[in-house]
């Protein structure tokens, strides 16, 4: 059976797109690991830098995902499959020699994406806990400092604490 030349050209592009997406997830995990390390070391400037780096890298991850999805849709179209179909639904329709590589890259991408989500949740909890502790510290240091409250519509209620003279706040 002769391989359709369009499909023969699209499969290597898909493999490259999967590798690129995997690389971007790996980079994101490394950024999240550095952020976690900075939080644990209480390195405030490094934490702020990590947030910027992570936000900047999100666009690269999204671009890699869009590129892979485009290749995936192209192959699905060439195989006369619905564009929204999963890899597993059409993997058996491509030549057997390409199947192991695609399966492995899809599996690695999924596993790495799970790790990225886990690390992001861990970092979120660490950062939230740090903020909570800082709010408690500020409230203990300056009792007039009001906690954030919300109004009936769910918006932030702006409390205006009465300014205290410095000698009363310290005293």
Q: What is the Cα–Cα distance from 171 to 166, expressed in whole angstroms?
A: 8
Distance set, CA 136 to CA 88, 150, 159, 162 (Å): 51, 18, 17, 19
Q: Contact 115/29 with Cβ under 8 angstroms?
A: yes
Q: What is the Cα–Cα distance from 78 to 76, expressed in whole angstroms?
A: 5
Q: Give helix 5-40 / helix 99-141 axis angle, nearest 10°.
A: 30
Q: What is the Cα–Cα distance from 103 to 87, expressed in whole angstroms?
A: 8
Contact residues for 67 (Cβ-Cβ < 8 A; gap 6+): 17, 20, 21
Could you identify the residue written with the tokens 């995997």?
A: 22
pTM to 2 decimal places: 0.77
**pLDDT at site 84:** 78
Residue 125 tokens, joined: 């909890």
pLDDT at position 167 over 70 = no
Q: What is the Cα–Cα distance from 90 to 79, expressed in whole angstroms?
A: 8
- At 69-101, the pLDDT tens digits run 999 999 999 999 987 778 888 889 999 999 999
- At 45-56, the pLDDT tens digits run 999 999 999 999
All structural domains of the chain, each given as residue ranges with its CATH number in brackets, are 5-142 (1.20.58)
Confidence of residue 62 (pLDDT cuts 50, 70, 90): very high
Residue 72 tokens, joined: 């995936």
- At 15-35, the pLDDT tens digits run 999 999 999 999 999 999 999
What is the separation of C-alpha 64 from the centre of its chain, rounded to a whole number of angstroms? 13
H-run or E-run covering 81: none
The pLDDT mean for the chain works out to 86
Distance set, CA 159 to CA 115, 162, 163 (Å): 40, 9, 12
pLDDT at position 150 over 90 = no
Could you identify the residue written with the tokens 């909890």?
A: 125
Q: What is the Cα–Cα distance from 149 to 155, expressed in whole angstroms?
A: 9
């Amino acid at each position: 059976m002769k391989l359709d030349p369009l499909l023969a050209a699209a499969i290597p592009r898909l493999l490259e797109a999967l590798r690129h997406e995997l690389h971007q997830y790996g980079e994101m995990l490394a950024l999240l690991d550095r952020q976690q390390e900075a939080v644990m070391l209480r390195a405030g400037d490094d934490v702020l830098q990590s947030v910027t780096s992570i936000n900047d890298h999100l666009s690269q991850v999204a671009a890699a995902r869009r590129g892979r999805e485009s290749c995936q849709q192209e192959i699905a179209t060439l195989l006369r499959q619905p564009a929204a179909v999963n890899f597993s639904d059409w993997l058996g329709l491509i030549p057997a020699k390409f199947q192991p590589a695609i399966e492995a890259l899809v599996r690695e991408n999924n596993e790495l994406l799970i790790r990225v989500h886990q690390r992001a949740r861990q970092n979120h909890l660490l950062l939230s806990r740090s903020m909570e502790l800082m709010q408690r510290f500020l409230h203990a240091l300056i009792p007039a400092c009001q906690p954030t409250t919300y109004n009936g519509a769910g918006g932030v209620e702006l409390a205006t604490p009465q300014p205290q003279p410095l000698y009363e706040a310290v005293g």
